[in-house]
Structure 1
Amino acid sequence: MSSTPTMSLFILLSLFGFLAIKVESAPTYSFHSCTDTYTFKPNTTYSTNLNLLLSSLTSNASLHDGFLRTSVAPINGLFLCRGDASPALCQDCVAAAADDILRRCPNQTESIIWYDTCLLRYSNQSFNNIVPSVSLQSNTTVASSEQSQFEQSLSDMMNDLKSEANSQTGKKFATKEVNFTSSQTLYGLAQCYPDLSSFDCNMCLESAVAALPSCCSGRKGARVLLPACNIRYEFYLFYNITHTSSSSPPSPPSSSSGKSNISIVVAIVIPIVVALALFVAGCCFLRRRANKKKYTTFKQDDGSGFGAVYKGILPNGHEIAVKRLSLTSLQGALEFRNEAALVAKLQHRNLENPSDRPSMATIALMLNSYSVTLSLPRQPASFMRGRTPNRLKNGVDSDQSSCSIPWSANEASITGVYPR
């Protein structure tokens, strides 16, 4: 039972925390101004066009980098979000301002409303950048002993903010912080419409800064709100540092940056060249290996000095043998020609035609039997005139007339038919 009150307390604290977050993130109303010179009646064309204009501004609040100027004839409208506002925060602020301005200025043809993070305005006339002007200040003041130091620090900071915001090419928005004392920091902000010229932005900010002594002298916090620009300072951080764009425009590249760019280019090009070289080398290697696969090695170099012999098949089906000279053999073209000539001399020309070769059965019969019938030996191609006596041609020697062993004789050799 004791866990029930604890659970209820936890849920209640969670709800309070959620509500606190929602309230903290909600847009904060600052001020509004309605011009009573001209009014319009409800349910008229002007009323319809005004609703269309506000709807267009609201739907585009997160898409145009915090600023949009548009019109639905004859009404001109715009919104400006603070330079550090996120797109989601800008969208929420403009939507709240569009609903609030119709409630606070229900039938005025020209109105403007400021929130902490945005402003929204519309008019059926050309916009005035200076009027109306609104100042908001803190209820607390700095100590009298610090008054002169405060005014000097504030003046220097505002001059810096004015110059920096006016020099921006995108958002004309700048922030700055100054160490006022060892325990106090002064934060400042300045902003103009992004589409204002440098001259108009400078004039607007000059008017805002000039209003500070008369409205907010010695105050620990103050805002001066003009339609086209605004300034603010506080002794606490009131803007989002991560979204500020107070950095100055990029300076021209120096020589060191040029060198770094060259280094980057070299670092990119060299690996590409090396990769291409490796790719080409790999292709050559694979092609060479594929060509070598067409040959099979049937005799390796035995140390005699020439290299391996490869067996291959030509496209017409003939088998060939290719000897590849070894680089370590130190054999040159002369040695190769000598070897080729030697091989040609050792060729047995009678055995060039396989049909002229005796079969293995005939050879086996010759080796195992005396009853062999051989064809009459033909004159060999390498015929040489012999000097054997005629008596040997008949196969019978005078001293061996009783022998019956037949002889195979030709003009170059005498061969016994039967095996020895």
Structure 2
Amino acid sequence: MARLLSSSSSVVIFFIHFQILLITQAIAQPDFLYHFCENHKGNYPRNSTYESNLNHLLSILPSQGGNGYGFYYLPYGNSSNQVYAIGLCRGDANPDVCVSCLNNATQRLPQNCPNQKEAVGWYDYCMLRYSNRSMFGVMETSLKVYLWNTQNVSSNVDEFFSDLRTLLDGLKNRAASGSSLRKFATGNASAPDFQTLYALVQCTPDLSKQDCNNCLDDAFDDIPTCCDNKIGGRVIGTNCNFRYEIRLFYNQTDDAPLASSPPPSTNATTTTGGNESNTSRTTVIIAVVSSAAVALVLIISVCVFLKKRGARKIDQTHPVNEPVEEIESVESLQYSFETTRVATDNFSEANKLGQGGFGSVYRGKLPNGQDIAVKRLSRNSNQGDLEFKNEVLLVAKLQHRNLVRLLGFCLEGSERLLVYEFVPNASLDHFIFDPSKRANLDWERRYKIIGGIARGLLYLHEDSRLRVIHRDLKASNILLDKEMHPKISDFGMARLFVVDQTQGNTNRIVGTYGYMAPEYAMHGHFSVRTDVFSFGVLLLEIVSGQKNNCFRHGEHVEDLLSYAWRNWRDRTASNIIDPLVRVNSVSEIMRYIHIGLLCVQENVAHRPTMNTVVLMLNSNSLSLPVPTEPAFFMNSNIGSDMALASEFNSRTTESDHSESKSVNQASANEASISELYPR
């Protein structure tokens, strides 16, 4: 497709060739708009397990995956054959229309994108996506479809679009403030020449308020490109969409969960454009026509559009080699210092949540009522402003339901602030190590916490745009939301000021003794399996309710790993289970202890990856290997809740990395520094 669209003549030829096909397709599928096959994401073999999982998932999605408000999400399968699907119905769609549209989409999209692991299809009343990676809560703006009315605004163009942007901004705020069930808004406003503007905006409800705002802002910015001087237009992406017309096109039941009847259909001629970015945009021209005479008019419109767009490209104010999209995205995340200062009551002690070696964290409230957590970083970093902005942009793209979300940043003078979502139930250590609170953590809640941490860590290691080695996974860095779902925190402070690191070793160690893998603590060697070690320690802490430091248990004084291994070896592993946990059967807990011991083995090669860990946690039928002896810390005089920062001489080789370390004590909720590797 990209080759077809490499020149203006190619676009016109493609349009003429595709026109008759679209007329036929529009008759058979009146609500079909456009589909996109992610060819570069890979194919699956015919009659494979992946194909079987995809077919099964699509068959049950419309009936089992919905939240009752037009949003559908389901994963299915295990490991490399796992499939994820998302469906979103227009917020004003009748439930029957919604289900009918999704049923149609689940049949058509695999036919349109045969053997593609990732695809998206847009229809008038719904959107369907599926992939071999988790998409839940991940904002993406690279794929869009444009539609516009062929009729121009007759007069007062600037006033018309000023009124439109005011209307859209108001609807954006309403939609973004919606719940996790639905983010949707409609409305109207007066326009020049006694006209009325009607508009609809929508985000997938798995997005945060900030992400919904950002997604819609990105879509609104395309109005001059897609809908220049047009009385109606529409931009549809994978996470948000909007539409405007000078006539009523939606059902006026905005406050209802789903509308009672479908909106009136449109007879306006529309044109769509596909995958785009600010630096290189691929445009697909499609028409749904009522007569052959319209074709010539649209061909001329295409040529005029391409000519205007070419002129706009020449007039860009950014340098040719500058990543315009990246810079615009990071600026959209920026908060003013005054906003954060007011939100935290001038960083008052009453709002202070904690303090570590990398700065203090404060609770705050934005003017729109959103609760936030603001990390005020120490002022001893030599990191440049552009590095800091790029770092924030990378971290902001790490979005998963089991990660604390970075909302934005502030960079003014020497002030560097990170703004996160606020998680109300504090950290896991406040529950698991408190006897009174621990009693309320039954086994069902504990294994859900373990599973959530594992999925978040798997995302950091395998499924995100980047590979993040957390290096400070511990109970105090696991925050719990109001439903007690775990969220990994302190993963987002990229070490851009450490330029001499490789993926295998580092000359600066940060983390917490007791959770640190021995090869990292002693020699600075790290990989995804150093995080697996920390996860294993955390798993055993959750099961036992004990910290991994020296404690007395009967006649023995030992750390948790030593205690767990001794009981496993002596076939008394039930002693490891927290006596406050009441269960009918201990077999599942014993399996989790087994997995925990596999994760903390001293030999790095013997530890499983997080992909394997998640598979073992979710499949009781999978046989587990026999664990070998873990690494013990009981001879250390450093407790497991003491943070470590070690400096090696940057000129030493890997073999010269000695054990001489300067240990600085800090609080248990000290921020960690993570390594980010682009994929």
TM-score by length of 1: 0.50
Aligned residue identity for 2:172: K
Per the TM alignment, residue 110 of structure 1 is displaced from its structure 2 partner at its CA by 0.3
CA contact (8 A) 2:159 2:192 kept: no
List aligned pairs for 1:6-405, cutoff 5 A: 28-37=31-40, 38-60=42-64, 64-73=68-77, 74-127=82-135, 129-143=140-154, 145-169=155-179, 170-181=181-192, 183-242=194-253, 244-245=255-256
CA distance in 2 between counterparts of 1:182 and 1:210 reads 25
The equivalent residue for 1:339 is: none
Aligned residue identity for 2:54: L
Unmatched runs of 5 consecutive residues or more in structure 2: 1-25, 258-679
CA contact (8 A) 1:61 1:87 kept: no
Per the TM alignment, residue 78 of structure 1 is displaced from its structure 2 partner at its CA by 1.0
CA distance in 1 between counterparts of 2:149 and 2:200 reads 16
**1:185-244, Cα deviation, whole Å (9 max, x unpaired):** 211011011121111111111111111112211111111111011111112211111355
Per the TM alignment, residue 53 of structure 1 is displaced from its structure 2 partner at its CA by 0.9
Question: Percent of pairs identical after alignment?
Answer: 40
Aligned residue identity for 1:66: G
Per the TM alignment, residue 59 of structure 1 is displaced from its structure 2 partner at its CA by 2.1
CA contact (8 A) 1:62 1:90 kept: no
Aligned residue identity for 1:52: H
Structure 1 pair 63/229, CA: closer, same or farther in 2 (3 Å)? closer
Aligned residue identity for 1:91: V
Aligned residue identity for 1:226: G
**1:344-402, Cα deviation, whole Å (9 max, x unpaired):** xxxxxxxxxxxxxxxxxxxxxxxxxxxxxxxxxxxxxxxxxxxxxxxxxxxxxxxxxxx
Unmatched runs of 5 consecutive residues or more in structure 1: 1-22, 247-420
**1:62-112, Cα deviation, whole Å (9 max, x unpaired):** 763211211113111010111111211111110111111012111110000
Aligned residue identity for 2:55: N
Aligned residue identity for 2:146: S
Aligned residue identity for 1:30: L
CA distance in 1 between counterparts of 2:158 and 2:212 reads 28
CA distance in 1 between counterparts of 2:214 and 2:104 reads 30
Which of 1 and 2 has greater Rg? 1
CA contact (8 A) 1:62 1:88 kept: no
Structure 1 pair 34/196, CA: closer, same or farther in 2 (3 Å)? same
CA contact (8 A) 2:233 2:245 kept: yes
CA distance in 2 between counterparts of 1:76 and 1:98 reads 13
Aligned residue identity for 2:161: E
Structure 1 pair 92/237, CA: closer, same or farther in 2 (3 Å)? same
Per the TM alignment, residue 178 of structure 1 is displaced from its structure 2 partner at its CA by 1.3
CA distance in 1 between counterparts of 2:69 and 2:164 reads 29
Aligned residue identity for 2:33: S
Report the 3-state secondary structure (helix = DSSP H, G, I; strand = E; otherwise coil) of the residue aligned with 1:108.
coil
CA distance in 1 between counterparts of 2:255 and 2:196 reads 18
Report the 3-state secondary structure (helix = DSSP H, G, I; strand = E; otherwise coil) of the residue aligned with 1:109.
coil
Please provide the CA RMSD for this pair: 2.5
CA contact (8 A) 2:199 2:245 kept: yes
Normalized per residue, the structure richer in helix is: 1
Report the 3-state secondary structure (helix = DSSP H, G, I; strand = E; otherwise coil) of the residue aligned with 2:243.
strand
CA contact (8 A) 1:173 1:245 kept: no
Per the TM alignment, residue 181 of structure 1 is displaced from its structure 2 partner at its CA by 4.3
TM-score by length of 2: 0.31
Report the 3-state secondary structure (helix = DSSP H, G, I; strand = E; otherwise coil) of the residue aligned with 2:114.
coil
Per the TM alignment, residue 162 of structure 1 is displaced from its structure 2 partner at its CA by 1.1
